[in-house]
Amino acid sequence: MKMREKIFFASALFVGLAGSFLSMLEWDLNIITSLFTAPLSITGLRNGFLLIFNRLFTISEQHQQFRYVMFRISSPEIDWNGNIAVGFAVIAALFAGISFALAATRRKWPVVAVMLLTVGVQVYFGVFAYAVWNIVLFATIAVMLANRRNTDGGITFRGIITVATLLLLISVAVWLVYPGRNMQLHEFSEAIRDRFDTRVNPFSVEPFGTHDVATQPELDNLDLNIAGVQDDNLHESPTVGYHVDYDESPQGAEVGFTGPVPSLLPAIIVVILLMILAAVYRFVPPLYKAAKRRRMFTLDDYPVAINNMFLYMLEWLAVIGLERKNVVFSAYAPQLAVLISPQYSDEYERMTVLWQEAVYSNNAPGETKRKQMMDFLEQTKGFVWKKSSISTKLRIKLHYFL
């Protein structure tokens, strides 16, 4: 795999991992600005990780009948955003390292392991990334696994990039139609969670049996001093640090996150930029090579110009079914008589003689010979274009780059 291919796969995988992580936590990218004011210390980094876990726990509680014990945070609330930003910077660096390591290795099992781990985290916590990020992430993993096949299997990197670009377009379409989360997925993850966790749901109550009621002693003189009960004591919370309203979205410092409501705009921009990058990588280098090749047709070195035009013409003929074999070029004449016409086949044989003179003869051809080959090339392009269907014409422009 070439270095630029590794960089592309690593970048796409990093975008998928980071985007999924941000969307799972319903994180706004504005918090990244807190990096510039973040207190850089081991304690701050530790609190940042704990706040991120608390955030994940809180969102998980909103989708599942399950309660977590939140981590205690030692830093003041004013530093929380900075702690989270530093923690995420370290996580992003970890994602980048994993992405480049997976792009560099030729083995499949590390990629499969990351895929299963990602699926397991989302299912276990019941917190799923936005559909577009999961599509980007798992589509990247899919094409990485496909690219690890033997090159004899017919898979080309350009073909994979084309598929990846189409998947990104599909991702945007899915996102526009369905930007939220799927409750069926949450119910599925909750069922999986129940199988692996034996802790009792704090909201489930076991009814008392009749034997429990019978054994309770009856009180003859029950004196309730209502006046001695203070209202403040009735409303005290036994927990300290976090209060979560499960009917609403988590707010501010209550879940260790102080920032505005997450916006879809940054994610849309990232996806669009990724699509542009894929399109540029897919089309710009081949178009540049094709233009550079056509400029060789006008070189003052006539043998080189004629040779390039003749080989270029054979590629056009292959589009409509010319079978390229390890034979002399003149042997293609019978095929061309069937594919195009006997008259074209005769003209092709004369051009093979011209090509042989240009390449093998000591007598250098002049401008007249080059013009003859150029005219025959244009004639060939016209025949092929006329006989091609719309899909074949698209392949000529976007796949063969002729």
Give the contacts of 217 (CB within 8 A, at least 6 positions apart): none
How far apart, in whole angstroms, are the C-alpha atoms of residue 159 and residue 151? 12
How far apart, in whole angstroms, are the C-alpha atoms of residue 249 and residue 244? 9
What is the extent of the structural domain holding 59? 3-196+250-270
| Residue 259 confidence class, pLDDT cut points 50, 70, 90 | very low
| Same domain for 341 and 265 | no
| Tally of domains within the chain | 2
Answer whether residue 231 is part of any domain.
Answer: no
Answer whether residue 208 is part of any domain.
Answer: no
At 305 the pLDDT is 92
Mean per-residue pLDDT over the chain, rounded? 75
| Range 149-187 burial, b when 16+ CB lie within 10 A, else e | eeeeeeeebeebbbebbebbeebbeebeeeeebeeeebe
Answer whether residue 229 is part of any domain.
Answer: no
- The answer to whether residue 99 scores a pLDDT higher than 80 is yes
Answer whether residue 23 is part of any domain.
Answer: yes
| Same domain for 120 and 37 | yes
How far apart, in whole angstroms, are the C-alpha atoms of residue 46 and residue 75? 10
At 347 the pLDDT is 93
At 311 the pLDDT is 93
Digit-coded pLDDT (tens) for 283-306: 888 888 888 888 899 888 999 999
Answer whether residue 185 is part of any domain.
Answer: yes
**Distances, alpha carbon 218 to alpha carbons 202, 208, 401, in Å:** 29, 17, 93
> In 3D, which of 280, 300, 281, 311 has the Cα closest to residue 373?
311
Answer whether residue 78 is part of any domain.
Answer: yes
Q: Where are the alpha helices (DSSP H) in 25-108?
A: 42-63, 80-104
- The answer to whether residue 15 scores a pLDDT higher than 80 is yes
| Same domain for 186 and 72 | yes
| Same domain for 255 and 307 | no
Answer whether residue 278 is part of any domain.
Answer: no
How many CA atoms lie within 13 Å of 240's alpha carbon, on the beta-carbon side?
A: 3
| Same domain for 122 and 24 | yes
Q: Where are the alpha helices (DSSP H) in 253-341?
A: 265-295, 302-319, 333-339
DSSP one-letter code for 126: T
| Same domain for 318 and 393 | yes
Answer whether residue 275 is part of any domain.
Answer: no
| Same domain for 393 and 259 | no
What type of residue is 92?
A
How far apart, in whole angstroms, are the C-alpha atoms of residue 189 and residue 185? 6
| Same domain for 318 and 255 | no
pTM of the complete model = 0.45
For Cα atoms 305, 310, 313, give the angle at the middle one, nearest 5 degrees: 125
- The answer to whether residue 376 scores a pLDDT higher than 90 is yes
| Residue 86 confidence class, pLDDT cut points 50, 70, 90 | confident
The larger pLDDT score, comparing residue 84 to residue 249, is at 84
How far apart, in whole angstroms, are the C-alpha atoms of residue 151 and residue 393? 27
| Same domain for 261 and 336 | no
| Same domain for 325 and 259 | no
Q: Where are the alpha helices (DSSP H) in 155-228?
A: 157-177, 183-196, 210-214
The larger pLDDT score, comparing residue 184 to residue 335, is at 335
| Same domain for 125 and 51 | yes
| Same domain for 54 and 148 | yes
